[in-house]
């Protein structure tokens, strides 16, 4: 095999996720929707949906721990993070931790789009209820959403740290979300 210092490396050949694992990120989409995401380990994420700084986010107040996710490295500082929620909603994020942007492609279950307020809970304490709502549906046709956002804060918090996402979004201290780095 011919190798070169300058050979293009395909992302499938480098799945080192160490630049992402344990990261605790705060980002805001162009419509003002503000999220907090913790990359707990190579196959779990946790998040809080915060009050929007512009358009109302009907999902604000929702928070989730131990969401199974599939994470792949796409390039330098760039990752795909995707998960299937117990609600029936599917989420795909592409995140560039160097340029500090995120692109969201989501497919909201129709019942979630119709009644987002039913999912504004600490989901882990309402799993049976959420899954019953999902099974009642309808899930399709899903409502597709596409958003760009910018990452304002990123901090390594270790992996499997139960203290990062540990209280409702409304309970974070003043200024917590406005930190930048």
Q: Tell me how far apart the alpha carbons of residues 125 and 171 are, in angstroms, rounded to a whole number.
A: 17
Q: Tell me the closest approach of the beta carbon of residue 17 to its own copies, in angstroms.
A: 13
Helix or strand run (H / E) with residue 13: none
Enumerate binding residues for its own copies (CB under 8 A).
8, 10-12, 30, 70, 72, 74-75, 80, 82-84, 88, 90, 92, 94, 96, 99, 101, 103, 105, 107, 109, 134-135, 137-142, 144, 146, 148, 150
Q: Tell me how far apart the alpha carbons of residues 54 and 32 are, in angstroms, rounded to a whole number.
A: 4
3 vs 163, which CB is nearer to its own copies? 3
Q: Tell me the closest approach of the beta carbon of residue 51 to its own copies, in angstroms.
A: 22
Which of 29, 46, 79, 85 is an active site residue? 85
User: Active site includes 35?
Assistant: yes
Question: Taking the alpha carbons of 61, 65, 71, 76 in that order, is the dihedral positive or negative?
Answer: positive
* Residues noted as catalytic: 35, 85
């Amino acid at each position: 095999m011919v190798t070169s210092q300058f050979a293009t490396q395909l992302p499938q050949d480098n799945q080192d996720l160490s630049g992402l694992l344990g990261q605790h990120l705060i980002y805001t989409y162009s419509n003002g929707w503000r999220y907090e995401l913790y990359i707990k380990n190579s196959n779990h994420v946790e998040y809080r949906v915060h009050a929007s700084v512009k358009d109302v986010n009907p999902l604000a107040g929702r928070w989730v721990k131990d969401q199974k996710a599939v994470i792949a490295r796409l390039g330098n500082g760039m990752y795909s993070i995707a998960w299937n929620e117990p609600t029936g909603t599917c989420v795909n994020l592409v995140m560039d931790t160097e340029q500090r942007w995120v692109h969201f492609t989501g497919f909201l279950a129709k019942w979630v789009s119709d009644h987002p307020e039913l999912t504004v809970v600490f989901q882990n304490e309402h799993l049976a209820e959420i899954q019953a709502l999902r099974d009642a549906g309808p899930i399709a046709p899903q409502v597709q959403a596409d958003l760009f956002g910018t990452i304002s804060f990123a901090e390594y918090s270790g992996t499997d740290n139960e203290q990062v996402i540990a209280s409702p979004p409304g309970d974070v201290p003043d200024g917590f979300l406005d930190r930048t780095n």
